[in-house]
A = this chain, B = another copy of it.
Amino acid sequence: MVLSFLKTVKSRIPTDLAPDVSRPTVGIIGGLGRMGRWFAKFFQDAGFPVLISDMQTELRPEDLARQCQVIILSLPMQVFPKVVAKLGPIIPENSFLTDLCSLKQSQVACMLECACCEIAGTHPLFGPVEKSMKGRRVALCKGRGKRWFTWWEGLLRKHGAVTSVVSPEEHDRTMAWTQALNHFILLCLGKAMDDHGIDPKQIMALATPSFEQQMEILARLYHQDPELYATIQMSNPYTDGVLETFSQHGANLRKIIKERDRKAFIELFEEVQDLGHTVLLSKKNYVDSR
């Protein structure tokens, strides 16, 4: 399986004018959640009128949907389909609907099915602990319509985001690596340490720079939402295949080590070094493109 990404648009995109209004009212459904608050602040700081609705607000999602030109769904993935089914028919055709879910295939399909307005899928590839959007990646999936999409991508870029336009399928396939497998590895590492009674403070005293970074990644989990991470593992249709491949290579590499097969180990190591070299080059390109 080779991932083929749509080319990221590098041209200047006009950002000041929304399709029909110069400063649309933005509504965030789930606006009291962590990402909801983050985006509410983002839009407020950017000078947009913002309405939010959540379980505790007087403003109901239906009223918000009628009053806003831009509607952002910041919802747990478990309740997402139900809310979209209810709101979709209310949203006027000339409005814009997008979501912030960590998965995109069923989410974009669901929005397209339930609503007639312009639609895009958005996945901010960062959490609410980040201070700003500058240099952070955002995945965008085209749904329906170009005008609002152009406005939305332009706004994100204007505020420093590095956007990538991908199909929902490509997005979810990639997330099986960058999220599901990555979290899987960290969880297994943490559980194994727990099991052996390893005290992180003590092990850090003998950490190499590489393991120190690994521990820093593990520590990032402290800020995350277990419910979201469960859904990322359990709802992505590509997770199982990726975890299977990883586990197979684990079994294979353990065999190589047990059999003291230095030749096989070194071949494998050099293959991964080649990949590492490509990462170094891509990192350079990414930094250069900012």
- Is A276 interfacial (CB 8 A cutoff)? yes
CB distance from A184 to the nearest CB of B (A): 6
Copies in the complex: 2
With A226-B265, A269-B187: A279-B204 Cβ-Cβ less than 8 Å:
yes
Question: In the complex, A186→B175 CA distance in Å?
Answer: 18
Looking at the assembled complex, report how far the CB atom of A177 sits from the nearest CB atom of chain B, in whole angstroms.
6
CA separation between A240 and B254, bound complex, in Å? Answer: 8
Q: Is A106 an interface residue (CB 8 A)?
A: no
B221, A272: Cβ atoms under 8 Å? yes
- Shortest beta-carbon distance from A179 to chain B in Å: 6
Distance of A218 Cα from B213 Cα, bound (Å): 11
- Which chain B residue shows the least CB distance to A229? B269
A214 in the interface (beta carbon within 8 A): yes
Q: For A275, list chain B residues within 8 Å (CB).
A: 190, 193-194, 200, 218
Selected from B139, B198, B222, the residue in CB contact (under 8 A) with A3 is: B198
- Say yes or no: B208 contacts A217, CB within 8 Å: no
Q: Is A164 within 8 A of B206, CB to CB?
A: yes
Q: Size band of the A side of the interface?
A: 35 or more
Which single member of B1, B247, B272 contacts A187 (CB below 8 Å)? B272
Complex Cα distance, B229 from A239, in Å, reads: 30
Q: Which residues from B are CB-within-8-Å of A182?
A: 208, 210-211, 214
Which chain B positions have C-beta within 8 A of A211?
Answer: 177-179, 182
Q: Are B205 and A234 in touch, CB under 8 angstroms?
A: no
A240 CA to B175 CA, complexed, in Å: 31
Offer 26 A-B interface pairs, CB within 8 angstroms, sorted by A: A3-B199, A3-B202, A3-B203, A5-B205, A125-B208, A127-B208, A174-B202, A177-B198, A184-B257, A185-B214, A190-B275, A191-B249, A192-B242, A192-B245, A193-B275, A194-B271, A200-B275, A204-B279, A204-B286, A213-B216, A218-B276, A219-B277, A221-B276, A230-B262, A239-B257, A247-B254
A interface, CB within 8 angstroms of B: 1-5, 8, 125-127, 130, 136-137, 139, 162, 164, 166, 171, 174-175, 177-179, 181-182, 184-211, 213-222, 224, 226-227, 229-230, 233-234, 239-240, 242-243, 245-247, 249-254, 257-258, 260, 262, 265-266, 268-273, 275-283, 285-286
